[in-house]
């Protein structure tokens, strides 16, 4: 079941990314751009939530769960510059933590 969820989210995230890239060549309306951006943040949020549930290490689990929840939650609030900045930080923070974790460094050195 877990593998099916990961596959569905992976393919939907890839599809949303392809639609986002096609927006560079196709002139989508402002409403469609807003929907695409919301779907992108929600897909990233769900990915973070699922990976957060699957990870054994507590600090990564908490970081991913908080980041994923915020990325989903921010799409249902009025647009705000502060929320956008926090949303970008929520996307980047788990990647930075994973880069400098002991567990990741041990697997890279072997």
| DSSP per-residue codes, 29-93 | -HHHHHHHHHHHHHHHHHHHHHHHHH---HHHHHHHHHHHHHHHHGGGS---HHHHHHHHHHHHH
pTM (predicted TM-score): 0.79
Q: Which tens digit of pLDDT belongs to each residue from 45-68? A: 998 898 888 888 888 889 899 999
CA distance 51 to 39: 18
pLDDT at 110 over 70: no
> How many structural domains is the chain composed of?
1
Domain that holds residue 49: 2-109
């Amino acid at each position: 079941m877990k593998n099916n969820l990961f596959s569905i989210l992976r393919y939907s995230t890839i599809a949303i990314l392809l639609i986002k890239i096609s927006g560079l060549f196709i002139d989508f309306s402002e409403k469609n751009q807003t929907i695409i951006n919301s779907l992108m943040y929600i897909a990233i949020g769900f990915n973070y939530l699922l990976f957060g549930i699957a990870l054994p290490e507590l600090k990564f689990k908490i970081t991913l769960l908080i980041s994923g929840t915020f990325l989903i939650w921010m799409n249902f609030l009025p647009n705000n510059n502060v929320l956008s900045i926090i949303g970008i930080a929520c996307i980047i923070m788990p990647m930075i933590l994973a880069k400098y974790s002991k567990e990741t460094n041990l697997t890279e050195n072997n």
